[in-house]
Amino acid sequence: MTQTCGVQSVCLGVTLQLILAALLHQGFATVAPPTTASPHKEPGRPDRGDYLVAGTNGTTCLRASMGLQLNVSFSSASLNKTLQEVVNLQPNMTKTSGSCEADSASLKLSTDADKTVLTFFFTLNTTSNKYHLNEVSLSANWPDMKEPFSGHNNSLDYLHGTFGFSYMCREEQTLDVTQDLSINTFQLQVQPFGLNGGQFGAAEECQLDEDDMLIPIIVGAALAALVLIVLLAYLIGRKRSHAGYQTI
């Protein structure tokens, strides 16, 4: 932008830059970063499963709809080095079990012959009526593992929700469990407490989703500002020409 530009065009320039920045940000956010070279092929997006746990009276007491991807590093038996493997959990080959107590609930997902057993533990603070995911454990016995994998952490603090509400995160979210284990969740909606007839309560959205919704708001605001500036410029221009000023 050069000095000779009038006030109106400087304003226009700034607004256009804002819009461009917002659009570019969105572009980068939706384009997946290139994956680093790895001996194993990365799986695509995991299928979304609908996992239900029934309470003692037979009604659903915990429900989780999500796509799950496990990211595990382990010692390879054949290559004699550490491998990083990314594996999708396949809903149609996964058995669901679990438990529901007054202030704790668990969801256990296991595959054929228990080659993979993944368990989520939630706790409810009955004073504040808030729940969260506090523990995850994974045991896996996959081909080429030198020894069965076991990963466990009981001091986690993820998926915060309120009793009677569900926690939702449409965006991909990574739950770091241990140094050797992380879990990527996709299109997640979960409710470990206070379901009503097996249905999710109103959703509380994660920060990632809220950030995503911010972009259209910023673009909209910038466009509105642009329209206002053009309108003002037009009105000022009209007033000036009425007053008999010469426009350059």
Ligand X SMILES: *[C@@H]1O[C@H](CO)[C@@H](O)[C@H](O)[C@H]1NC(C)=O
First-to-last CA distance in the chain? 18
Interaction between residue 102 and ligand X (CB under 6 A): no
Interaction between residue 189 and ligand X (CB under 6 A): no
Pick the binder of ligand X from 184, 185, 189, 191 (CB under 6 A): 184
Rounded distance between C-alpha atoms, residue 87 and residue 235, angstroms? 61
Interaction between residue 4 and ligand X (CB under 6 A): no
CB of 170 to ligand X, least distance (A): 17
Rounded distance between C-alpha atoms, residue 245 and residue 23, angstroms? 39
Interaction between residue 162 and ligand X (CB under 6 A): no
Tokens of 76: 């390879």
CB of 33 to ligand X, least distance (A): 9
Interaction between residue 128 and ligand X (CB under 6 A): yes
- The DSSP 8-state label assigned to residue 206 in this structure reads P
CA distances from 120 to 48, 142, 153 (A): 17, 20, 10
Pick the binder of ligand X from 84, 96, 141, 162 (CB under 6 A): 84
Interaction between residue 54 and ligand X (CB under 6 A): no
Which of 109, 98, 155 lies closest to 132, judged by CA? 155
Q: Residues interacting with ligand X, by CB under 6 A?
A: 42, 71, 84, 86, 125, 127-128, 153, 155-156, 176, 178-179, 182, 184
